[in-house]
Amino acid sequence: MESEYEQATSTNLPVVDDVMICRFVLSKKCEFSDTSGARATYGDDAVGYVQLRRHDEICTVKALIAPEHKVRLKGYEVSVTINESEQCIIDSKCYDCAASEGGCKHGVALLFWLYRRTLEPSVTSVECYWRKSTLSKVGSTIKGQRMRELFNFRQVPSLPTKGTAFLDKVISTALKSDSHSILATMYKSEVNILEKASLYHLCLSYKKTTDAPNAEDFISFCQSNLNSEICKSINTLTILQSQSKAWFDVRYARITASKLHEVAHCKTVDGATTAAVLAASKFRGTKAMKRGLNLEDVLKVIAEEKNIKLERVGMTINDMYPIFGASADAMSDKYCVEIKCPIKTNTVKNYITPEGEITPKPYAQLQLQIFLNKKQWGLFCVASPSFETDRNVTIKEIPLDENFCHNVMEQAQAFWKKAIFPILIN
């Protein structure tokens, strides 16, 4: 504490009222561009070690203001000078801040701190303000705070229960109008085709049948609840693929062909692969994927070269392998077709090696598509980066490799049981 100064308490602080604040602000307009210091949420925690000195009618109040972003550093020294007889604020200064010449928030913080102390009702006890600020205690005295200590939570009274008449009426109206709201879905007695195939809804039904859920039992439950008719309907319903909401619903928590390779080889149960299978992030697609959405011209070239008729298809699921799904780009009587449309020449190697072999990820993708669609052959097609001008498509005819499929699906299913099922069931 400086000489001639005394500790500030609730009994010796100068009065700072609304009129004094207004006059001072109007006279110092250019210095009040940053008014964030006026907030009680900042000033009351940042102000510490308050001292004052009176000389005739002049009262000078000094304090240390804790820096917001480096709270354990020495505080900024700030002063407010007041003429108590004329009830006017003479000055408000910050001595340490680089922005103090043009007006900074630290001087404002002390000024409004004094104003709030003036507004406080008189109490019999005396409070001393010569103390460390709350903000500067963070990391030393204050190690951490619970949420309820930061805010004054108001207890919300619970409403009395008056029967279920209103709820019954809402549910009845929702079901009659064929609403797709969450509430209506919970109370539907007959689920639609999409819900019969969705792993999310199958999981809800499964949980009602057991008190000890496990992944193997759930897969068996799905096998017994799915059938070829449901799988066929899903393929038709999702024919627009990524432009269809149903496509995303059916994909949820399923290992799709495009993810098969990485799921089978993933060792981290709570990483990006798990998030991708659960569709935790938005489907934006790469530039190549967006280019590949317009496949009509590429399909024409493939159909002409192989002399086949191609049709677009949706998501294929199989009742015997319910946690897997595949969305081929097209299908013929003989072939399952997967098309890649790289934008740059140097990215072609991501799909086909210099030796002409398909790289592991798209190979696994095509094999699962062939397997789930019960075909014996697949076409792996890579459009030239300059396809729009040269109309060139590299076409690889690939036979089904059942042993490969069973092995990679077994690895992927093992990961699904460890990483995906616990999240799905909870």
What single-letter DSSP state applies at residue 20? H
Mind listing the pLDDT tens digit for each residue in 231-287? 999 998 888 888 878 888 899 999 999 999 999 999 999 899 999 999 744 445 555
Mean pLDDT across 7-27 = 89
> What integer pLDDT is reported at residue 101 of this predicted model?
64
Query: Of 391, 360, 361, 393, whose CA–CA distance to 379 is shortest?
Result: 393
H or E element that contains 360: helix 360-372
Round to whole Å and give the CA distance between 270 and 167.
39
> What integer pLDDT is reported at residue 402 of this predicted model?
96
Q: Where are the domains of the chain?
A: 6-149, 160-190, 193-425
Work out the pLDDT band at 295, boundaries 50, 70, 90. confident
337 has a pLDDT exceeding 80: yes
> What integer pLDDT is reported at residue 281 of this predicted model?
47
Query: Of 350, 344, 338, 333, whose CA–CA distance to 302 is shortest?
Result: 338
What are phi and psi for residue 216, nearest 5 degrees?
Answer: -65, -45
Q: List beta partners, residue 65.
A: 47, 76
Any idea which architecture 193-425 has in CATH? Alpha-Beta Complex (3.90)
> What integer pLDDT is reported at residue 89 of this predicted model?
92
179 has a pLDDT exceeding 70: no
Mind listing the pLDDT tens digit for each residue in 39-56? 666 667 788 899 999 999
Residues in the chain: 426
> What integer pLDDT is reported at residue 273 of this predicted model?
93
Mean pLDDT across 14-20 = 91
Q: Comparing 22-26, 65-69, 233-237, 339-343, which segment has the lowest mean pLDDT?
A: 65-69
Indicate the pTM of the whole model.
Answer: 0.56
Query: Of 42, 48, 114, 36, whose CA–CA distance to 76 is shortest?
Result: 48
Mind listing the pLDDT tens digit for each residue in 154-167? 666 766 666 677 77
Round to whole Å and give the CA distance between 187 and 283.
30
Contacts 24+ apart (CB under 8 A), 79-87: 79/110, 80/16, 80/107, 80/110, 80/111, 80/114, 82/14, 82/16, 82/20, 82/58, 83/57, 83/58, 84/14, 84/15, 84/54, 84/57, 84/58, 84/59, 85/57, 86/57, 87/15, 87/17, 87/19, 87/20
Q: 275-313 in b/e burial notation, b at 16+ Cβ within 10 A?
A: ebbbeeeeeeeeebeebbeebeebbebbeeebebebeeb
Query: Of 94, 116, 102, 96, whose CA–CA distance to 33 is shortest?
Result: 102
Helices (H) and strands (E) counted in the chain, each on its own, are 19, 12
Of residues 126 and 23, more confidence is placed in 23
Round to whole Å and give the CA distance between 82 and 114.
11
Mind listing the pLDDT tens digit for each residue in 130-154? 887 776 666 555 556 666 665 566 6
The average confidence (pLDDT) of the chain is 85
